Amino acid sequence: MTLIDPTSKQLQDTLSELKHKEEEDQAKELAEKLELPYINLVIAPISPNDLLILDKEKAQKGNLLVMKKVGKILHLAVKDPNNPQTQEVIKEFQEQGFECKFFIVSSTSLENGWAKYKLALTPQKDAPIWGVFDIKKEDSDKIKDSLKTVQDIQKEIKNLSTSQLLSLILIGSIKMEASDVHLEPEKDKIRIRYRIDGLLQDIAEFPVKEYHFLVSRIKTLSDMIINITDISQDGRFTAKFNGKTVDLRVSVLPSNYGESIVMRLLSISTIKLNLDELGIRPELFETIKSQINRPNGMILVTGPTGSGKTTTLYSCINYINKPGNKIITVEDPVEYRLKGITQTPISHRKGQTFAKSLKSIVRQDPDVLMLGEIRDQESAEIAIEFALTGHIVFSTIHTNEAAGAIPRLFGMKISPDSLASSLNLIIAQRLVRKLCPDCKEKYKASPEIVEAMKKILSSISRKSGLKIPEKIPQLYKAKGCEKCHGLGYKGRLGVFELLTVDDEIKKIILTKIASFEIQDKAQKQGMITLIQDAVLRVIEGITSLDEVERIVGSIKLAEK
């Protein structure tokens, strides 16, 4: 045990924390007695504009303040609603036609709230509508140095006060280049998971009793209603860290054991917009380039959610983004801003308005249209009509294989004629994690695996122009080191299947034949399938067999 200097800041802090806790407990007790919600104004949001509804003098005299105004309802923070002076102010509000909602707070809470008058009265330029979480330098220094691998977070989490917990979670996610942070309450613990390179990783666990404070803090920052816990809420806040800012989109969802939280790190979800950085083989890259340089036609990207479709679309658009090309995108929602391109957010949820807005956008006469997703007959018709009238159209459609897009569009009542004349290229893709080059481990694959891989590659046509390896001497697997935070993988790579709609494929489309025959024909014409591309990446040592099987399924079960 270490001795604490009685004059130390740490001790002073602990003492005032204790005193504060006692005060808050009393407020909680009163709230319970009166059956009113309790709130802590040190962490709860106060709207500066609404605070000014009641002037400071009156607020102090009446022992209350206005936290928020929602229509004709005032959210009031009060120490005791039965206090005569408080009642006087309430009566005044009611006479003005306001309905009052009470939240019980402590004296410290009120003092804190009143201090915000000063802030509210000073005009602020460009004040963000959401909160800013400033990660203190001493916290970040302390945490940063101790975080080398994912496992370190679990060790560190036990040594932190509640207030440092959020800093740790955020710094960890930034350092490990996570795209999302998940906080999931379970029966007796809270689980933290990060999404890194598309995969959720268990990061740490912490006790349930800390969670309440953390949730309140995050909800406050994201401008959500704290004491409502049974509906989902969305919000956003900014974290400041080492002079950098990271925007977080937050979603809170009620679950069995409390509210679960997902935070998406918007500035971290880096997007590479160069076609040649997507991991497309040079041979396939040439195909894409020649297709997107054509004067008209439709290019579709298929794949499940999270397979990198949007990135590919953006990269294609970026490639043809030259002066003289008018490009309009229609997205739900706009995820990344692109320079020199008109991006239109349209919500699919609004039904009717979607098709209507889409039609009016098409009248803006762009040369290139990117439609976020073809999901119904109406959007399919607009996209195809546009492609048939001398424009380039990019879109995504939800199917597994490239060939699957064709029957899918037939299902949307698109005629074989229109489809055959409008479709240029279908790209199916998946993302696989790349092995960490610093720690990947060589091993000799079993004869069965080698056999299965060879079988998959055997159907690659010579027309593909690819060199197929004859021997598979060794493969690589994931290990884990400091550079990859102990995960064994670092970054991701796209695997692709490109179905070029040439004359042969057009003929098949016109006969409205099943997708496997299209697939078969396309392979004979030189198409490499997703699984073939993936297996080649395993042989090249860029990814592992485990990773490929996670994405495309067992290679022993693959037919071709």
Give the footprint of Zn ion on this chain (CB under 5 A). Answer: 436, 438-439, 481, 483-484
Burial 57-75 (b: 16+ CB within 10 A, else e): eebbebbbbbbbeeeeebb
Dist. CA 59–CA 117, nearest whole Å = 10
486 or 494, CB closer to Zn ion? Answer: 486
25 or 482, CB closer to Zn ion? Answer: 482
Chain residue at closest Cβ approach to Zn ion: 436
417 or 441, CB closer to Zn ion? Answer: 441
Question: In 3D, which of 500, 463, 529 has the Cα closest to residue 537?
Answer: 529
Q: Which two tokens stand for residue 470?
A: 């004859």
Q: Which uninterrupted H or E stretch holds 78? A: strand 73-78
Provide the minimum distance between the beta carbon of 291 and Zn ion in the complex, in angstroms, as a whole number. Answer: 37
Dist. CA 472–CA 228, nearest whole Å = 59
Inter-axis angle of helices 150-157 and 162-175, nearest 10? 170
Provide the minimum distance between the beta carbon of 477 and Zn ion in the complex, in angstroms, as a whole number. Answer: 12
Provide the minimum distance between the beta carbon of 483 and Zn ion in the complex, in angstroms, as a whole number. Answer: 5
**Residue 16, C-beta contacts closer than 8 angstroms, at least 6 positions apart:** none
Provide the minimum distance between the beta carbon of 543 and Zn ion in the complex, in angstroms, as a whole number. Answer: 14
Q: What is the DSSP letter of 333?
A: S
Q: Are the C-beta atoms of 535 and 454 separated by less than 8 Å?
A: no
Provide the minimum distance between the beta carbon of 351 and Zn ion in the complex, in angstroms, as a whole number. Answer: 48
366 or 488, CB closer to Zn ion? Answer: 488
Provide the minimum distance between the beta carbon of 436 and Zn ion in the complex, in angstroms, as a whole number. Answer: 3
Dist. CA 52–CA 178, nearest whole Å = 40
Question: In 3D, which of 225, 215, 226, 236 has the Cα closest to residue 70?
Answer: 225
How far is the CA of 474 from the CAs of 162, 492, 531, in angstroms?
49, 22, 19
Provide the minimum distance between the beta carbon of 27 and Zn ion in the complex, in angstroms, as a whole number. Answer: 51
278 or 439, CB closer to Zn ion? Answer: 439
Length of the chain counted residue by residue: 560
225 or 481, CB closer to Zn ion? Answer: 481
53 or 481, CB closer to Zn ion? Answer: 481
